[in-house]
Structure 1
């Protein structure tokens, strides 16, 4: 029996900033993405995470927000109301960028996040609400906390960046600017993918 050809995966680190805990009542106000690397049958190849990036600040979709959540990003809602990218346009631009990166590498896109659960919730909701289509499919996401817990053989709820070996962490600061954090987390993913504890 012939071996089935495995299509490579393109790992795209995504970070979002939002003004509340869930999409719909609250808004994604910025999104950053960075190509982390490609995995094929021969292994993982890291990319320069600063080489291929995407960033948008978005117009809020409601008047509701949690002040503490908004403060984390440092973004101004009044400025975003007038100067933020309309969500449908931002999602169309993101789809186009992800698909161009996938075509360039011949790989299927996978969103990766730390933790993916929060960022994926907003990302997938926005992609489906504003355009009805996700370049990641409905389940193409990888959670870096789960990846670390599995490799380190530790309980998932015990994982935090501070519990990881220092050599896995990026030297970049986590700034809560979506693009900065996407780049930082792309480096973490590449380190995790190559890590053999």
Structure 2
């Protein structure tokens, strides 16, 4: 089983009405060398300027990004090259990140290589600590920049720390 840490940036709160602008993924393993980065042309006329600004891109820049179908097919191929075993989607905010990745995969490729489930890193940490008020974010080493590969790497570092230093039983 391979855990894939994912982070997305969008121009609004939900897929379909709004667009995923870019995303990053990293295989959770020592070294964190296997990464994927995708930029996607918006699929909707609607966007929230403040949401788009988080990504660091202008609307004009985003309009020049590759077609979403092309990017999602490339991501699916990259995921297939990672492992023949089950892939586990994990993110800092899987309620947000998962909805975009899942929708885009189903809409543009017909299926989601992750299947139908995902894991929330924050909830996993809260359970380990037996405290719903704690956060894992101090375990990141890579600065949280809103570049999705940086953010996915920082979250993957936190998960590796939870495994290697805190005793989380997880097969990566």
- What's 1:81 paired with? 63
- What's 1:181 paired with? 151
1:67 aligns with 2:59: no
- Secondary structure of 2:6 counterpart: strand
| Structure 2 gap segments, 5+ residues each | none
Query: Cα deviation per residue 1:15-72 (whole Å; 9 max; x = unaligned)?
Result: 00000011011000001001013xxxxxxxxx211x1110011100011111111111
- What's 2:76 paired with? 95
Query: Cα deviation per residue 1:129-173 (whole Å; 9 max; x = unaligned)?
Result: 11111110111x111011011110012xx24346xxx4xx12211
Q: Give the whole-Å Cα distance in 2 for the aligned partners of 1:160 and 1:21.
A: 23
1:196 to 156, 164, 167: 167
Q: CA RMSD in A?
A: 1.5
- The structure that has the greater radius of gyration is 1
Number of aligned residue pairs: 167
TM-score, length-scaled by structure 2: 0.91
Shift of 1:193: 2.8
Runs of 4+ in 1 over 4 A off after TM superposition: none
Q: Give the whole-Å Cα distance in 1 for the aligned partners of 2:152 and 2:38.
A: 12
- What's 1:146 paired with? 123
2:5 to 10, 13, 22: 13
Q: Give the whole-Å Cα distance in 2 for the aligned partners of 1:90 and 1:123.
A: 11
Q: Give the whole-Å Cα distance in 2 for the aligned partners of 1:73 and 1:79.
A: 11
Q: Give the whole-Å Cα distance in 2 for the aligned partners of 1:81 and 1:98.
A: 26
| Structure 1 gap segments, 5+ residues each | 1-8, 38-46
Q: Give the whole-Å Cα distance in 2 for the aligned partners of 1:170 and 1:90.
A: 28
- What's 1:113 paired with? 91
- What's 2:111 paired with? 133
- What's 2:16 paired with? 24
TM-score, length-scaled by structure 1: 0.80
- What's 1:43 paired with? none
